[in-house]
Structure 1
Amino acid sequence: MKQTNGQQIIQIFESWSPKKIAAMDGDPIGLAVGTLNKAVTKVLVTLDVNLAVVDEAIEKGCELIIAHHPPIFRKLANLRTDTPQGQLFEKLIKHDIAVYAAHTNLDVADGGVNDLLADALDIQQREVLVPSYKETLYKLAIFVPESHADALRQALTGAGAGSIGLYEACSFTSTGEGRYKAQQGAEPFAGSIGKLHVEPEVKVEVVVPDSLKNKVLRAMYNTHPYEEVAFDFFKLETAAKTMGLGRIGTLKNSMTLQAFAEHVKTSLHVPTVRVVGDLQDMVTKVAVLGGDGNKYIQAAKRAGADVYVTGDLYFHVAQDAEAMGLHVVDPGHHVESIMKQGVASKMAALCAEKQLQVSFLSSELSTEPFQFI
């Protein structure tokens, strides 16, 4: 395995959880402290960055921290080292530890915070609760000699083109004739310089999501036999994929609200939860949204949720939920710490595929500020 640097690690991370899918305008995501232009052998994954977490990173020899909550959420008026926040940044800089924040983009990403919470709660047949991002879909049409059509199709679908819903390797082919006259200095695939040539060709058409355009085009150029490739790109009205905050699905078996609240406590490893609703009511359809989900109670109700799992529930929002007949279970904001092991495992697998020599460690510290007595 080869050594890597911070830029390579974050490039891989953003292929999974890109900045463009962030659900909040002005979300302070990305590199917050330090530089990525350096060798990295160990990465610490954490929910929050505080002094104890920085000490943990130093002790474990980590050169990079990936955090869910941005350490700089609002613009700094100053950077004084006699304040707790200033001491945090001073220690990071003195020990050359970079901090990268992935906030609402990690909430939205497939396999991110909300999927990890839904996995823990064993929510089935789930969908996005609050759509926030739609990826543009294109149709790519390429004209290629019949003899190279199969190889081209395989290269395109191998790069990720041609996926429609639950179907892969989808393409359409039509036949025709290509005409060209090669000029002096050209090296034509077939035909002679200065003479009009007619070549039996096919038009291969595939759909391509915006995120894979460059990869698919590279595959096309690497496989196509012509010096000059004739192709068209058409933007489609249909979105390739809808992504967003929260998830909604069903439990394997209905249960009372009280039993479900106990299920949340056990599954998310919290000592207590706050509950809105009649504890004897039966619940089947569950919405979950990590962090502060107060503004999305209407979305959960419209989606048909029997119960909504989210944190930081306000008093009056709880009253509104009660009035509309929506049950709510609030296990706190800190359950988002489930991302520590989830991100560490995901990134370890992605970097191993690229044969990069780097370790990902899940922070062993709790950054929950509340105690329950």
Structure 2
Amino acid sequence: MELKEVLQVLEQLAPLSLAESWDNVGLLVEPSKPRPVKTILLTNDLTDAVMEEAVAVSCDLIISYHPPLFRPIKRLVQKDWKQRLAVRAVEAGIAVFSPHTSWDCVKGGVNDWLVGGLGSGQVSVLSQVLGAASHGHKLEFTVRSAEELNMIMEELKACDGGTTLQHSDSSGIHVSVTCCDSALTPSVQALLGHGTPSQSLTIPPLLGHGQGRCSVLDQPVTIRAAVQKLKSHLGLSHLRLALGWGQTPESSVCNVAVCAGSGASVLNGVKADLYVTGEMSHHEVLDAVAKGTSVILSDHSNSERGYLAVFRERLAVRLPDSVTVVLSKADRDPLEVV
């Protein structure tokens, strides 16, 4: 299977347009000599140990949840471990892809998997991704004249690959445009380049997609039971627990807010009996506890890694039998209880 075909499947499972604007997602390393993708290695982090594993299994594509290349680089040298891994991948002809926050935000992704560890419930998104229906995105804006509208529409047509955009206007001022998924980001950027439309640009929320989840549990559990459920769900023997003010291990949890990874910025201000995330700072935990909210921390990647097995099944059924999808055995959180 060609690399571009695998990338198309990955885009279908979790569109990169869902990723946060600050993130670095997508194809990060592309070999100069294309070769069929026969073995894909899934990992939470690309480390030296994982790279050794990838070479040992003759991997053609590494899907690393966290992007091994994040900040701009000016050189590729051996003294920097991330740059060293990028060079190693190029030399071995291994492609590297990172989905990161697109997996966090997509409906049925990392955060839905994480909150599911506490049982069924009424789940809502804490921070909605902006967008519209998956088949198209509706952008609404205002213009001052027909000339300005014509100019803007020409720019939007270029963003949409030359296809005809559907649009309507009312009294020559309000305009509604529908564009495809791939054209959403460049279309928004084009509109923001015009002072008047940028003041009224409307992008409806894409329901079910976004950062963090809150669940009103169908069956409330005690904090003690929540800890045990999450240990089982995450495959961990230990978790860190901070009891909210006035709470005990037997206190009831009716609603829970979760955010995989480092979730304090998403969870901050959310009313819930329990927060679940990978890591929070000392003072962020104190703030939650003072408001009566208990906190469970698993360490960063432990709140994410279990989703790899779920994704493996979803990916494998969409690929031909000639492609093998392997879970990394070397990938693990750098922190452990000793």
For the superposition of Structure 1 and Structure 2, which TM-score range results when normalised by the shorter chain?
0.7 to 0.9
- The equivalent residue for 2:322 is 357
Counterpart-to-counterpart distance in 2, 1:299 and 1:66? 34
Deviates more, 1:93-102 or 1:29-38: 29-38
- The equivalent residue for 1:28 is 24
Counterpart-to-counterpart distance in 1, 2:214 and 2:273? 10
- 1:118 Cα offset (Å): 2.5
Once superposed, which parts of structure 1, at least 4 consecutive aligned residues long, lie more than 6 Å away?
none
Contact 1:28 1:70 in 2 (8 A): yes
Q: 1:331-370 alignment to 2 at 5 Å?
A: 331-335=298-302, 336-351=304-319, 355=320, 357-370=322-335
Contact 1:209 1:240 in 2 (8 A): no
- 1:211 Cα offset (Å): 4.2
**Offset from partner CA, 1:163-194 (integer Å, 9 cap, x none):** xxxxxxxxxxxxxxxxxxxxxxxxxxxxxxxx
Q: Which secondary structure state, in structure 2, belongs to the residue aligned with residue 87 of structure 1?
A: helix
Please tell me whether Structure 1 or Structure 2 has the larger radius of gyration of its CA atoms: 1
Q: 1:140-179 alignment to 2 at 5 Å?
A: none
Q: Which secondary structure state, in structure 2, belongs to the residue aligned with residue 357 of structure 1?
A: coil
* Aligned partner letter, 1:247: R
Contact 2:119 2:219 in 1 (8 A): no
- The equivalent residue for 1:251 is 217
- The equivalent residue for 1:218 is none
Structure 2: where are the runs of 5+ without partners? 139-177, 184-201
Q: 1:251-290 alignment to 2 at 5 Å?
A: 251-277=217-243, 278=247, 279-290=249-260
Contact 1:131 1:244 in 2 (8 A): yes
Contact 2:37 2:323 in 1 (8 A): yes
Counterpart-to-counterpart distance in 2, 1:127 and 1:76? 38
- The equivalent residue for 1:111 is 108
Counterpart-to-counterpart distance in 1, 2:206 and 2:87? 44
- When residues 90 and 285 of structure 1 are mapped into structure 2, their CA distance, relative to the original with a 3 A threshold, is same
Q: 1:1-373 alignment to 2 at 5 Å?
A: 4-22=1-19, 24-35=20-31, 37-136=34-133, 210-211=180-181, 241-277=207-243, 278=247, 279-301=249-271, 305-335=272-302, 336-351=304-319, 355=320, 357-373=322-338
- 1:243 Cα offset (Å): 1.6
Q: Which secondary structure state, in structure 2, belongs to the residue aligned with residue 39 of structure 1?
A: coil
Q: Which secondary structure state, in structure 2, belongs to the residue aligned with residue 288 of structure 1?
A: strand
Aligned length: 274
Counterpart-to-counterpart distance in 2, 1:288 and 1:88? 32
- 1:132 Cα offset (Å): 2.4
- 1:84 Cα offset (Å): 2.8
- When residues 212 and 76 of structure 1 are mapped into structure 2, their CA distance, relative to the original with a 3 A threshold, is closer
- The equivalent residue for 1:196 is none
- 1:95 Cα offset (Å): 1.0
* Aligned partner letter, 1:314: S
Q: Percent identity?
A: 29
Q: TM-score, normalised by structure 2?
A: 0.74
Counterpart-to-counterpart distance in 1, 2:261 and 2:241? 16
- 1:300 Cα offset (Å): 2.7
Counterpart-to-counterpart distance in 2, 1:334 and 1:237? 32
* Aligned partner letter, 2:310: G
* Aligned partner letter, 1:284: C
- When residues 299 and 131 of structure 1 are mapped into structure 2, their CA distance, relative to the original with a 3 A threshold, is farther
- When residues 126 and 210 of structure 1 are mapped into structure 2, their CA distance, relative to the original with a 3 A threshold, is farther
Contact 1:134 1:242 in 2 (8 A): no
Q: Which secondary structure state, in structure 2, belongs to the residue aligned with residue 40 of structure 1?
A: coil
Aligned-residue CA RMSD (Å): 2.6
- When residues 35 and 18 of structure 1 are mapped into structure 2, their CA distance, relative to the original with a 3 A threshold, is farther
* Aligned partner letter, 1:21: L
Q: TM-score, normalised by structure 1?
A: 0.67
- 1:210 Cα offset (Å): 4.6
Contact 1:135 1:242 in 2 (8 A): no
**Offset from partner CA, 1:258-281 (integer Å, 9 cap, x none):** 221222122211222222222232
Kindly indicate which of the two structures has a greater share of residues assigned to strand: 1
- 1:38 Cα offset (Å): 3.2
Contact 1:123 1:286 in 2 (8 A): no
Contact 2:2 2:35 in 1 (8 A): yes
Contact 2:130 2:204 in 1 (8 A): no
- When residues 111 and 35 of structure 1 are mapped into structure 2, their CA distance, relative to the original with a 3 A threshold, is farther
Structure 1: where are the runs of 5+ without partners? 140-207, 214-235
**Offset from partner CA, 1:330-358 (integer Å, 9 cap, x none):** 1121221112212211111122xxx4732
- 1:15 Cα offset (Å): 1.5
- 1:124 Cα offset (Å): 2.2
- When residues 76 and 250 of structure 1 are mapped into structure 2, their CA distance, relative to the original with a 3 A threshold, is same
